[in-house]
Amino acid sequence: MKDQLVEIVKGALEEISAAKTLEDIEGVRVRHTGKKSPLSVLIKSMKERTPEEKKELGPALNDARTEIHGRLEERLQEIEEAFDGAAEWVDVTAPGKKGPSGHLHPLTIVQRDIEDIFTSMGFEIADGPEVETEYYNFDAVNVPDNHPARDMQDTFWIETKSDEDRHVLRTHTSNVQVRAMQEKSDQGIKPPFRIIVPGRVFRQEATDASHEHTFHQFEALVVGEDVSVANFLHIAESFFSQFFGQDMKVRVRPSYFPFVEPGFEFDISCTICGGDGCSSCQQTGWIEVGGAGMVHQNVLEAGGYEKGVYTGFAWGFGLERLAMMKYRIDDIRHFHGGDVRFTRQF
């Protein structure tokens, strides 16, 4: 009896060790632990044995069954965890499978950077119409009809059927200055406030690598009780330093824009040479960026604030110009050219 049991166990363990696949293991399991397996037959036959025999054989049978089950389980794990290095080799240098990925337009990226920086400085983002009345584009910002200042911007006028209010494609985002202030003053909101206006503007001029009839401007307006030129310098330096990720200096030079007094052009230290002078900045160390100034009292008055009470500064510059500086783009026409090879670089 005992010898028979030893044979059964030995045979089973040999087959288990020889099993290579999950199917092999399953076959072994059926043959050696199934209802008709020699072990099961032997266990069944126990009923007919004497109590002495049962006492003697019982534990041995149990041990045999435990050993076979244990080995089966062990072998099963071995097989499941086994792998063939050569067959399953993967070329880790082959390119990965890419998911869909589209690209944002560089102007979108630059505009977001600007919006985020200014928002973090407590500015709100305002919008206004692109087709604008003559009043908000010109008169409200102190550019009266029949004034030579109107010649400073080549304007697209809208064809009208009658002598109704004349409309223009806004020549600057400054049209939103008075709109935004009126909205506030109508609700009884007093300065201080800080506003930015990014948006599309139009000038009727011939296009070439550095001129476009359609471009984007970015306007900032700060009004309060004691806002000064020195404050403008601070906000401008803070912004440009953040935007370019390096310490930037801002320089202002006298200029004239009817909506500000004093008015100036402002330059930033050259982003290429840091101000030492190089070919990008024509050896001056400075790059011309935009126009700025202290908001004209006539403009504040048009916005609903009594003259002489508040002061403020306004500034504006071209988004395209900033994007061109940041990404070294050499032709402004790419921005509205609709070529995806351009967009995909960003």
What residues from 163 to 202 belong to the interface with another protein (CB under 8 A)? 164-165, 167, 169, 191-194, 200, 202
For residue 32, the surrounding DSSP H or E stretch is helix 22-33
Q: Which of 132, 175, 177, 321 lies at the binding interface for another protein (CB under 8 A)? A: 132
CA 298, 300, 304, 307 torsion-angle sign: negative
Q: Which stretch, 2-10, 12-20, 75-83, 234-242, contacts another protein (CB under 8 A)?
A: 234-242
Q: Are 294 and 234 in contact (CB under 8 A)?
A: no
Q: Which of residues 255-294 bind another protein (CB under 8 A)?
A: 255-256, 258, 261-265, 294
Examine residue 242 and tell whether it contacts another protein (CB under 8 A). no
- The Cα–Cα gap between 290 and 267 comes to 7
Distance CA 58, CA 46 (A): 8
- Our finding on whether 108 is near another protein (CB under 8 A) is yes
What per-residue string of b and e applies to 283-299 under the rule 16 or more CB within 10 Å gives b? eebbbebbbbbbbbbbb
Which lies closer to another protein via its Cβ, residue 9 or residue 335?
335
Minimum distance between the CB of residue 213 and another protein, rounded to whole angstroms?
Answer: 7
Query: Shortest approach of another protein to residue 5 CB, angstroms?
Result: 46
Q: Give the nearest distance from C-beta 296 to another protein in angstroms.
A: 7
**8 Å CB contact between 130 and 97:** no
Given 226, 245, 279, 330, the residue binding another protein (CB under 8 A): 226
Give the C-alpha separation, 218 to 314, whole Å: 10
Cβ atoms < 10 Å from Cβ of 175: 26
In terms of CB distance, is 62 or 282 closer to another protein? 282
Interface pick for another protein out of 72, 140, 222, 299 (rule CB under 8 A): 222
Distances (CA, A) of 174 to 140, 171, 320, 336: 10, 8, 17, 22
Among 22, 30, 41, 131, binds another protein (CB under 8 A): 131
Smallest distance from another protein to CB 256, Å: 4
56-95 footprint of another protein as x/- string (CB under 8 A): ----------------------------------------
Single-letter amino acid code for the residue at 277 = G
Minimal distance, residue 140 CB to another protein, in Å: 14
Task: Say what angle helices 51-81 and 22-33 make with each other, to 10 degrees.
Answer: 180
Query: Closest CB to another protein among 174 and 297?
Result: 297
113 alpha carbon, distance to own chain's centre = 9
From candidates 96, 148, 188, 245, binder to another protein by CB under 8 A = 148
Residue the block writes with tokens 């359609």: 214
Question: For residues 147 and 258, is the Cβ–Cβ distance under 8 A?
Answer: yes
Residues paired with 263 in a beta bridge: 255, 293
Distance, CA of 270 to CA of 30 (rounded, Å): 82
Contact between 157 and another protein by CB under 8 A: the answer reads yes
Does residue 228 belong to the site contacting another protein (CB under 8 A)? yes
Which range in 6-14, 15-23, 69-77, 114-122 contacts another protein by CB under 8 A? 114-122
322 binds another protein (CB under 8 A): no
235 binds another protein (CB under 8 A): yes
